[in-house]
Amino acid sequence: MYKVLLVDDEPKALEGLELMIDWKSLGFEICGTCMDGEEAVGKIKRFSPHIVVTDIRMPRLDGLELIHYVRKNIGSSIYFIIMSAYDEFGYAKKAMEQGVNYYLLKPILEEEMNEAVYEIYQKLEKERMIKELEKNLDREKLIHLILRLTRGNDTENKWIQQMEQNFENTKWYYLLIKVGEELRQGGNTLRKFDALDQYLKENEEIFLIARDITTGIQDYVINISQGSDKCIEDIVEKLYEKVKEVYGKEIYIVVGDSVCKFSKIKQAYESTLHTMNFSIFTEKNKIIYYKDIQEYSINYGFKQIQHIEELLEAIKDINKKQVDDVINKIEEEFCEECTSPEVVRLIIMNFIYRSIDIVKKLNENSKDMELHLDLEMILGQGVSIAEMIRCLKKYCDQLLLYVSTLRRNQAKGILYEIELYLHKNFHHSLTITEISKKYYLHPNYLGQLFSKTYGMTLTQYLHKVRVQEAKRLLKETDMALSDIAYQIGYSNYSRFIKMFERYENIKPLDYRDK
């Protein structure tokens, strides 16, 4: 909403101006009122109004003097509406010389004021749209130049040289954001783009360069003035949180090395691509910086990564023979293909990180797991492939034992959760089908597991819990039996009586009297 300042040395005239028209419906709010020109100067500096409605004749500093001072010392973008009780050409002429196009004679008619204010509103809207367009065009031009620089070698372009002058003392960073395939296929793509685009409008130092829907990779550039109190880590962390909010958890961001010249941004881009190669070293939901991977090197052209899926499935199935067979196959291919140690490290580390994901799904406290892994034997320089494979086999043996133990304990843990669930929700209508669905178990399996552990069926256990609550209510309250039956989960009163007698060998009323 635009702001308007009202200036008149007569209090009643000021009040009349405030009430004369519906300022809000015309897109304005009154930011202040003043009794003379000097007071108006202070409020103009303070509030930066878009319109000043002022009388001509005022003490200390009249309307024309006010306009002259503002035009000379503050700016020419403010619109003035002059009011005067004197129908004199001299005042109108002076006002027009000051760039005032709205000169109203007192007494002011509501229709005249409405017309002048609405006309100014239209001009302000046009100016706003032009500024927004120019701003967007500048961003589009910058993005276009970045694409030319990173995908080509156009450093002699005059616009690139101009940008270099415009962005002196600035650091440039290139980012790649990778969105997981499941999230990319989750729908609402345009809505997600809109949410991110709105965030970029609010954070002008971040530029979206490109989006690839097929690969899920998005390119961004961040520029930070050297005198700014912002740091790249804070900006990237906030961007990461926003992208995660929009897409979910399966994302990571890689940040390349910084450059201090706009024309050198291709170096930042290439360092980001280099950093991207190490993304498989990390778990999902990670921010990876170029500075953290500089000591590593990477080699391309490996195919053994396809066997990692087989190895992970064998671990899930707790199939020791299959695990050994897959590892032997991998080692054999490494030797036949003369695979470089760098590639072997990547494949093994990829397996390790993904195997940790398996454990996490089985146990939320997987951070406490004791799996001994000699990373130096895998990442250390000069380590042979055979040594790395031996380390992998040792790790898999521990992993198989750990997953097997988790699976056994998991069954006990689920039963405990179900027991708690029954105690908290016995007053609802519960069935073994609903409960098994809630805990992702087959009803038959749950029934057998529950009976084996508790010596009774799940339904019998539920009746016992309800009867125990009924006993408490019979002792501690005067509730009617029908109300007790309803409160503990029986919609049928006679069924409540039947279950109580079955488990307590006494009728509910007799139990209360006893």
Q: How far, in Å, CA of 232 to CA of 289, rounded?
A: 10
**Tokens 């910086």, residue located:** 289
CA pseudo-torsion sign 130, 136, 137, 138: positive
CA pseudo-torsion sign 244, 365, 454, 420: negative
Q: How far, in Å, CA of 36 to CA of 381, rounded?
A: 81
Q: Give per-residue pLDDT as tens, 76-135.
A: 889 999 888 766 556 667 777 777 878 888 888 899 999 999 999 999 988 887 666 556
Structure tokens of 423? 């105690």
Q: Give per-residue pLDDT as tens, 490-511.
A: 988 899 999 999 999 999 999 9
Whether residue 384 has pLDDT greater than 60: no
Structure tokens of 269? 């881009």
Q: How far, in Å, CA of 307 to CA of 396, rounded?
A: 14
Q: How far, in Å, CA of 272 to CA of 255, rounded?
A: 6
* More confident call, 353 vs 442: 353
Whether residue 347 has pLDDT greater than 90: no
CA pseudo-torsion sign 291, 297, 303, 308: negative
3-state SS track over 28-41: EEEEEEECCHHHHH
| 458-476 and 443-454 helices, crossing angle to 10° | 60
Whether residue 280 has pLDDT greater than 50: no
Whether residue 409 has pLDDT greater than 80: no
pTM over 0.75: no
Structure tokens of 107? 């007494």
Whether residue 370 has pLDDT greater than 60: no
What element of type H or E holds 128? helix 110-151
CB-based contacts of 367-372 (< 8 A; 24+ apart in sequence): 369/402, 371/395, 371/398, 371/399, 371/402, 372/398
First-to-final CA distance of the chain: 76
Task: Give the pLDDT confidence score for residue 279 in this predicted structure.
Answer: 55
Percent of the chain's residues with pLDDT above 70: 80
**Tokens 């580390």, residue located:** 349
Residue 126: strand, helix, or coil: helix
In this structure, what is the dihedral angle of CA atoms 388, 394, 400, 403, given to the nearest 10 degrees?
A: -90
According to DSSP H, which parts of 440-514 are helical?
443-454, 458-476, 481-487, 493-504, 508-513
Whether residue 136 has pLDDT greater than 60: no
Structure tokens of 148? 């030319």
What is the DSSP pairing of strand 170-179 with strand 2-7? unpaired
